[in-house]
Amino acid sequence: MSTETFLKEIQAIGEKFLLKLQKLPKAEPVEIVCFCVVLLFIVTVLVLMIIACSCCCYSCCGCDGHPATRSRKSQVRPTA
């Protein structure tokens, strides 16, 4: 898929979304609830992706932006 095609698809989705938002005040209650559920699902997925990516970056890079060095775990042996 070329960049131009992708941008046209995104623009078409955006136009459909805006059209749906414009028609929402006149919609039936069931349609409003369905739209809100779908919107809530999309927002939840995006928030979870952001949290997952930030946790992954934090564990890989640490706070200072440099890769975290993994320390070797040493086994503790009891003294005789």
Domain membership of residue 59 (yes or no) is no
- Is residue 37 predicted with pLDDT exceeding 90? yes
Does residue 44 fall inside a structural domain?
Answer: yes
If you compute the radius of gyration of the chain from its CA atoms, what whole number of angstroms results?
Answer: 24
Find the domain containing 48 and state its range: 27-54
Number of domains in the chain: 1
**Dihedral pair phi/psi, residue 63, rounded to 5°:** -75, -30
| Residue 35 CB neighbour total at 10 angstroms | 15
Task: Answer whether residue 48 is part of any domain.
Answer: yes
45-71, pLDDT tens digit by residue? 999 999 888 887 766 665 555 555 555
What pTM value is reported for the model?
0.54
